[in-house]
A and B are shown apart, each in its own frame.
Chain A
Amino acid sequence: MTSDPAIKVRDLRVDYGNFVAVDDISFTVPKGEVLGLVGPNGAGKTSTFRVLATLMEPTYGEIRVAGIDISEEVQAARRILGYMPDLAPVPSDLKAREFLNFHAQSHSLGSRAQCLERADECLATVNLEDKHNAWCRALSRGETQRLVLAKTMLHHPQVLILDEPASGLDPFSRRELRLALQNLARQGATVIVSSHILTELTEMCSSICIMNQGRLLASGSAEEVRRKLGRSEHQLTITVLQNASEAADWLRLKTGVHDVSHTDNKITCGFTGNDEEQTALLAALVTAGYSVKTFEEQATSFEDILVEVAEGNRN
């Protein structure tokens, strides 16, 4: 049991009528990892989350959470899963502390006093102690998000599934959320999170999955994904100690190099080619006698990748 990955998804498919929302995806998330699920609208993220959270039955596919088959042992899976839906709804007729206490009782977290104690702990974790007696309906968007996050953490879930948890949060709260999630991961919890705020996602997540039109395009560390999905055309910035003009002329003659320009000792150019060809270019430049101080590739950002994916869908 202990060697089981936190989440193992095999051949997951979700259909809504004729529309294939999730198309035979497979992935594994090791324990303690924070996985970011990224993709444009309609990529299949929420469907994947709802299936993982046992809220929806897939067309087919095998999903194991900490070794538990969620279709066979739903109740056991629900004890170790925490799910925060997109837009984080709250009941209008309960107060913040009552809401948490109710869910603590639903998860059988002990006596009434223990449930209340746990509710207070979670309110403190999300900095809502002073709102414990406020009506849920009276909370701001950000406060509501934090309250639902507190609810999700109530029963110490081993796996947290968070659909857009940062939406509506101010930058300070977002930072706190990021730290809280990283802290949970350090304590052994596994987190799957989706977000549109991609820069934060890359800072927060130890690995990333990119989904598009129900398919998994790439998964791995942020760098691996960028390398796999980033453009084959790169922007290079080279700093030489002297003869920048000559080096620029030398570069113009090389295959794959284009749009060369230089200022002082800094040369910028476009380069079309794979990693090996790029390495060969650097080696040739040094062999040609130019004193190369720095050779940098401007990485494709996740925003660029996503925009390209979304534009690809439109086309």
Chain B
Amino acid sequence: MPRSPSITFWKIWANPIFRRYCQSRLRPRGLGFTLLITLILAAFLFFIFRFNAIYNINIDLIDAERAPIIPLLFLQGVILFLLGTGQVAGGMTAESDEGVLDYQRLAPMSPLAKVVGYLFGLPIREYVCFAATMPFTLWALWRGMVEWQIAAQLYLVFLSSAILYHLTGLVAGTVIKNKRWAFLASMGLVFLLYTVMPQVSNFGLAYFRHLTLYPVFEEYLAFILPRDQGALILAGRSLLGVTRFFDLNLSETFVTLFSQGILSATLVSMLCRRWRRAESHLLGKIWATVLFAWIQIALLGNALPLIRPGQIFPSNEFNRRFVAGGLRENWSPEPAEVIAMAGTVGFVSLAILWTFTAIITPNKFTQLNGWRRARKKGRSSLGVASDPATALPWVAFMTACGAAGWILFTRAIVESRWFPGTEISPITTIAFILVFFTGGIGFQTLLESKGARTTVLVAILLGVVPLLLGSVLATISAKLTALATPAIWIIALSPVAAPSYAAITTLDIVNLPLVIARALPNAFWFSQGIAALITLYLLTHLRHSRRTIKNEA
């Protein structure tokens, strides 16, 4: 039987998986209905905004032509970002649910070609619907005399974002077994990125905005709006088209594409690993560690340049937008704001560390199999970066990176020109290191030595319950002040709250009631002291359990 050359990943049109979905998802009956709805919606948005601008607002025709651009962009976002991502996640789960995914595993195609096939094949109907809205957008861009470079950059980032979200959907579809949950989880993730993340990014996490369309959209908003509105936006800007990364001035589009590219490459790596071996960890230890270190660098690189001009502070943004001219000049950041930012950055870093730790930590059976395999091959140790090897050294490195990043961020704010004379004390530095040590190493050793089930139980009982209980007591303490102190002590038990408590060790810059000011550090140091002892115990226990597994193998 003659065979064609192997399928290369970049030849999308020749990719059998892509073509298979073109065949099944573009059947006239299914496509026709979706296309009809899309065209009706796109036409409605186009004409209603255009004619409203022409006949009711009475603006210049060129400006009126620009009016439908943003509503159409929103529709395109719903089609590609929300529906496309949901379709990718649900479609992938359905393949595995039906049992036909094994056939694809057996196909002699490279893992990358398979990923590309699913990535562009599963949402093909959404791409066609997106294309169907483009004539309206192109008309608006052309007649609205929007520069083509601006439109090109906007759509480049739009498509890059769509690919990133679809990859997220593919990973969700690979990991989550239930089709409906995969569909909802991936769409929920996109929804969170566009609703919650912009708020979180105001607390010193500017980097995460680059995972969305927002930075580039806001950058070019002035050029796609009617010109007088655009001029207003431009007047309020200082640096145009530029984002600062440490001391570098980089284009907003470049930073967004670069940030999304790194995350997309990570997701592709996860999928390729799973295609190569269904049992493998989603991320390799080296990739996870380098990525975590990069995230810390990216967070700092994006945040630090915003401190001096004050753009990093949420109150500044509020002040710029809503406060009248004279009062605006007197703005300065509040200490409580700094504590909230330091706490948020610490918590997000810790949450990323927990996620990566959960991905790269081997369970007992992975370790057992690894040892058996190694023994059979006459080896006396496991490969340091292999899936069955302990994740402790890698997590220790990530913990150090996370603590360093957090300390540098907080120091840069606290010792900035906005708080003259204040310094980060050695006590605060120790507190930050301790939070990452107990949170990072404690979690890893617990997970590796006691298993996922125990860890989840501990996370609920120690991570969530004290928070909830403490919150209830804190609410009552508004009337019954005696409960404030127990509430503080109970909440301090939760590792989730530890970054916020550690941030409060810079207490000399906040004014709190004496009882609370006294209870907060005491509760923090006590709970962290206990957590440190438990972590040390878990470290010794991990050694013991690893030895037991080795002997059992």
Most buried by B among A81, A89, A114: A89
Residue of B95, B107, B279 near A103 (CB, 8 A) is B107
How far does the alpha carbon of A83 sit from the alpha carbon of B105 in the complex, in Å? Answer: 11
User: Is the pair A102, B108 in contact by a Cβ cutoff of 8 Å?
Assistant: no
Contact of A106 among B16, B369, B377 (CB under 8 A): B16
Could you say which of B6, B16, B372 has the most chain A C-beta atoms within 10 Å of its C-beta?
B16
Q: Is A75 within 8 A of B108, CB to CB?
A: yes
Once the chains bind, are A107 and B108 in contact (CB under 8 Å)?
yes
B368 within 8 A of A: yes
CA gap between A250 and B553 in the complex, in Å: 59
A27 interfacial by beta-carbon distance below 8 Å: no
Segment among B17-25, B311-319, B464-472 that sits at the interface with chain A: B17-25
Tell me, yes or no, whether A171 is within 8 Å of chain B by CB.
no
The smallest C-beta distance from A32 to any residue of chain B, in angstroms, reads: 19
A: number of interface residues (CB 8 Å): 43
Cα of A13 to Cα of B376 in the assembled complex, Å: 11
Say if the beta carbon of A98 comes within 8 Å of chain B.
yes
Are A94 and B20 in contact (CB-based, < 8 A)?
Answer: yes
B 86-130 contacts with A by CB, 8 A: 95, 98-100, 102-110
CB-based A-B contact count at 8 angstroms: 102
Residues in chain B near residue A243, CB distance under 8 A:
none
Interface string of A269-310 (1 = CB under 8 A from B): 000000000000000000000000000000000000000000
Interface size on B, residues (CB 8 A): 39
Interface residue? B1 (CB, 8 A): yes
A57 touches B4 (CB 8 A): no
Cβ contacts under 8 Å, B24 to chain A? 91, 93-94, 98
B105 touches A89 (CB 8 A): no
When chains A and B are docked, how far (Å) is the Cα of A105 from the Cα of B5?
11
Does B131 interact with chain A (Cβ within 8 Å)? no
- Judge if A56 is at the interface, Cβ distance under 8 Å: yes
Q: Does B2 contact A (CB under 8 A)?
A: yes
Chain B interface, DSSP helix/strand/loop, else mixed: helix
Residues 270-285 of chain B: 1 if any A CB is under 8 Å from the residue's CB, otherwise 0? 0000001111000000
Within 8 Å by CB of A54, from B106, B364, B376, lies B106
Contacts of B276 in A (CB 8 A): 74
Which of B95, B107, B277, B368 meets A107, CB within 8 Å? B107
Within 8 A of A (CB), among B132-157: none
**CB < 8 Å: which of A78, A93, A108, A109 contacts B106?**
A78
Of residues 207 through 222 on chain A, the ones whose CB sits less than 8 Å from some CB of chain B are: none
Say if the beta carbon of A36 comes within 8 Å of chain B. no
The CA-CA distance from A54 to B365 in the complex, in Å, is 20
In whole angstroms, how far apart are the Cα atoms of A74 and B106 in the complex?
A: 9
CB-CB under 8 A from A55, the residues of chain B are 102, 105-106, 278
- Per CB-CB distance, the 9 closest pairs between chain A and chain B, nearest first, are A89-B99, A106-B107, A105-B16, A60-B376, A93-B24, A108-B4, A78-B108, A102-B20, A106-B16
Which residues of B line the A interface, CB within 8 A? Answer: 1-7, 16-17, 19-20, 23-25, 95, 98-100, 102-110, 276-279, 364-365, 368-369, 372-373, 376-377
Question: Could you list which residues of chain A lie within 8 angstroms of chain B, going by C-beta atoms?
Answer: 11, 13, 15-18, 53-57, 59-60, 74-76, 78-79, 81, 83, 85, 87, 89-94, 98, 102-103, 105-111, 114, 118, 151, 155-156
Contacts A/B (CB < 8 Å), 6 sampled: A15-B372, A78-B107, A87-B99, A93-B25, A98-B23, A108-B6
